[in-house]
């Protein structure tokens, strides 16, 4: 069979092998890393490798067909992709030193830089979320009606208020912040957004 066709007979012949591998991984007897090493060794001739490739192609084909046939799924996938891209762009903007280039070839140092950048991004997102919650509470106190859809349109990836190279006030370090209340009781989240 050609490279673009799924060989269902091959999958059927080696279904037991596939299930053995899946059970070994789920029971912790085989790590996914060990499996990848085994499959990589002489992978072109490895029958399990070939079967996994065929199954992977069939799964990708089904997923693609579902994506093409379901407009709601496309909207969800696009929204999720946009959120991830927004976060990545935000984190990259925060990691401005050396234009985001990991100049060290040491994997431990590279991992440390990536984790620190992720920590910084998460801290700024958390701070932005606190600020957004304060503003929402203020608007509700003024009589505005805030819906879950309104909140869903907000993004915690705000940057305009961040001065990366500016003067930083240290006199506020002694100010104790108010206790954080994570619940926005002022917003009715029971409203059915699908309607």
The reported pTM is: 0.58
Domain residues of the chain, as ranges?
A: 8-68, 100-174
CA dist., res. 29 & res. 17, Å (int): 15
Contact 51, 11 (CB under 8 A): yes
Contact 92, 100 (CB under 8 A): yes
Query: For 75-85, how does the pLDDT look when each residue is reduced to its tens digit (9 = 90+)?
Result: 999 988 988 89
Contact 55, 7 (CB under 8 A): no
CA dist., res. 48 & res. 51, Å (int): 5
Residue 167 backbone zone (phi > 0: left; psi -120 to 50: alpha; other: beta) = beta
Query: For 81-134, how does the pLDDT look when each residue is reduced to its tens digit (9 = 90+)?
Result: 988 899 999 998 888 777 667 777 888 888 888 898 899 999 999 999 999 999
CA dist., res. 187 & res. 184, Å (int): 6
Query: Which of helix, strand or coil describes residue 51?
Result: helix
Mean pLDDT of 45-53: 79
Structure tokens at 88: 């990545």
CA dist., res. 155 & res. 152, Å (int): 8
Query: For 137-183, how does the pLDDT look when each residue is reduced to its tens digit (9 = 90+)?
Result: 999 999 999 998 888 888 899 888 887 776 777 787 788 878 877 78
CA dist., res. 101 & res. 119, Å (int): 17
């Amino acid at each position: 069979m050609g490279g673009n066709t799924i060989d269902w007979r091959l999958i059927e012949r080696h279904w037991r092998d596939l299930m053995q591998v899946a059970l070994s991984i789920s029971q912790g007897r085989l790590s996914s890393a060990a499996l990848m090493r085994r499959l990589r060794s002489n992978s072109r001739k490895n029958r399990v490798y070939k079967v996994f490739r065929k199954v992977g192609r069939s799964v990708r084909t089904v997923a693609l067909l579902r994506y093409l046939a379901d407009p709601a799924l496309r909207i969800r996938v696009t929204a999720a992709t946009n959120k991830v891209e927004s976060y990545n762009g935000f984190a990259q903007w925060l990691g401005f030193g050396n234009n985001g280039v990991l100049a060290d070839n040491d994997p431990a140092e590279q991992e440390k830089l990536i984790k620190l950048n992720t920590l910084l991004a998460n801290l700024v997102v958390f701070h932005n979320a606190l600020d957004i919650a304060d503003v929402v509470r203020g608007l509700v106190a003024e009589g505005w009606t805030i819906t879950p859809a309104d909140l869903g349109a907000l993004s915690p990836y705000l940057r305009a208020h961040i001065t990366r190279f500016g003067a930083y006030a240290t006199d506020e370090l002694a100010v104790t912040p108010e206790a954080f209340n994570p619940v926005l009781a002022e917003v009715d989240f029971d409203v059915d957004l699908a309607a």
